[in-house]
Amino acid sequence: MTPHFSVVIPAFNAESTVAETVRAVVAQPLARDLFECIVVDDGSSDRTAEVAEHAGAVVVRLPGNRGPAAARNAGIQSARGQWIAFTDADCVPSRRWLPALLAAAETADPGTLALAGKTIGLESKTRAARFMDLIGALDAETYLRHATMPWAPSCNLAYRRADLLAVGGFDAAFRWYDTPELHLRIADRLGGKIRHVPTAIVLHRHRAGWKSLWQQQVNYGRGYGHFLLRHGDRWPWSWQREARAWAGLLRPAARAATSRGDDGLVRRGRLLKQVAQRVGFISTFFSPGERRQFRRSPAAGDRDKSAEFKSGNRLPLWLAVGHFILRAPARLARSELPVFLKRVAAQPRAGTDVARVARLSRRWLRLPWLRSRDTCYLRSFILFRFVDARDGDLCLHFGVDEQDIPGARRHGHAWVSLDGRPLNPPATLVAGRLREIYWFSKLNGGASKADATFAAAMIRRGD
């Protein structure tokens, strides 16, 4: 029987803690055929593999230390579950951790990209560990409130295995900051959000001393530098911005020096974190060697630079989207809907993702002379034309609202799905009040001709 969940635990020289982690996983109050526990020994020089195996885990051994991202990828390849839950060898999942994730997975809608639980400190007896508890370090709820790019730490996080495989898993070039980089690629490709599951609790051993905490935060800064090198087209950075970031630490430093009690502990701890991260960031982002390695270099599931800016018809992507917006209505008016969609589906596309296509189409449709064309139909046509589904099934759907009032005018909608998961779902689809009338699949063609005629009429009326 295929398990619902595979728990993947990367471990490196974790002989002293991994047994407690594994025992907490295998003791979850679920039937054993519903989940499996996999520990990936990342080239440890101690008895990590033997201890994990004795505690009840399936152990995957790597020949050398390749980093957490590569270890998690090895676990993904070995996993059999529909969902993969990640935790770390310095964590102890609570007794109801997997049941809470399983319940959330069973009710997850197609727009749910991942499940993130709550992480709290374990045995936080030192001042450094207590500081991390006070600020809620590694708690997903804090990370998910980020306005620009919400994500969640990998010590308590679950993804569908199919989604991880679709983007090539974690980028093994990243030793740190690999999880937000992964989530950015998955969100670009599939759309959707991370669902917070506060009852899925994991206890984490924070760094006990300030020296080890400093080194951890320096490494996080290094990872963030790698991240911005890889995705600098979205979040550009410069020496001027770096100087302003350092200047912004002067006031917190002054306040930290005069504060007492828990407030002083938090202020001084935050200052240490921020300074350490800036030190790590500078060491990678402004390093010529690191820039050569990470700046737009191809990653697992990533795009190369030429694919990012070209549409497949040799026009720059932004110009190709504008050209399509201008010409598509007239081309649709001259042919039947299935014929038009068949031609669109046959057009080449070179690695373009959902987020970039949607962003470019919004820029075009905000222009005063194009605002009248800004409909869900044209936006969906644009996604269907330019999004690269690779081997997936990209499908364009048309539907009408189910009205509560008899005789009321029914409103139509269009949306696009990738392997059955909506990329731009209308609100009434999410609410379950939308009846599909026609679909056209890039791989399998369309539904009946009569339904296509109905959909075409709906598009012309602009309902």
pLDDT value at residue 307: 33
CA distances from 184 to 172, 177, 243, 304, 385 (A): 15, 11, 27, 16, 22
pLDDT for 21-52, tens place per residue? 999 999 999 999 999 999 999 999 999 999 99
From edge to edge, which strands make up the β-sheet containing 35-42?
58-62, 35-42, 5-11, 83-86, 157-160, 112-121, 193-204, 91-93
Residue appearing with tokens 């270890």: 71
pLDDT for 405-424, tens place per residue? 555 566 788 999 887 888 88
pLDDT value at residue 83: 95
Encode 282-312: b = buried (16+ Cβ within 10 Å), e = exposed. Answer: bebbeeeebbeebebeebbbbbeeebbebbb
Nearest to 220 by CA among 85, 68, 88: 68
Measured distance CA(436)–CA(455) in Å, rounded: 10
**Residue 125, token pair as written in the block:** 């007896």
pLDDT value at residue 180: 93
| 412, 398 contact by CB (below 8 A) | yes
pLDDT value at residue 351: 59
**Residue 207, token pair as written in the block:** 């760094």
H or E stretch covering 139: none
Measured distance CA(86)–CA(21) in Å, rounded: 12
pLDDT value at residue 156: 96
Backbone dihedral angles phi then psi of residue 439, each to the nearest 5 degrees = -140, 155
Measured distance CA(22)–CA(28) in Å, rounded: 10
pLDDT for 245-304, tens place per residue? 999 999 999 998 888 899 999 999 999 999 999 999 999 999 888 887 776 544 444 333
In order along its 463 residues, the chain shows pLDDT tens digits of: 678 999 999 999 999 999 999 999 999 999 999 999 999 999 999 999 999 999 999 999 998 889 999 999 999 999 999 999 999 999 999 999 999 999 999 999 888 999 999 999 998 999 999 999 999 888 898 899 887 888 999 999 999 999 999 888 999 889 999 999 999 989 888 888 899 999 999 999 999 999 999 999 999 999 999 999 988 878 889 999 999 999 999 999 999 888 889 999 999 999 999 999 999 999 999 988 888 777 654 444 433 333 333 334 445 788 888 888 998 888 888 888 888 888 888 887 765 678 888 888 888 988 988 888 888 889 999 999 988 877 678 899 988 887 655 555 667 889 998 878 888 888 777 677 788 888 888 877 776 656 777 777 767 665 5
Residue appearing with tokens 């110009």: 319
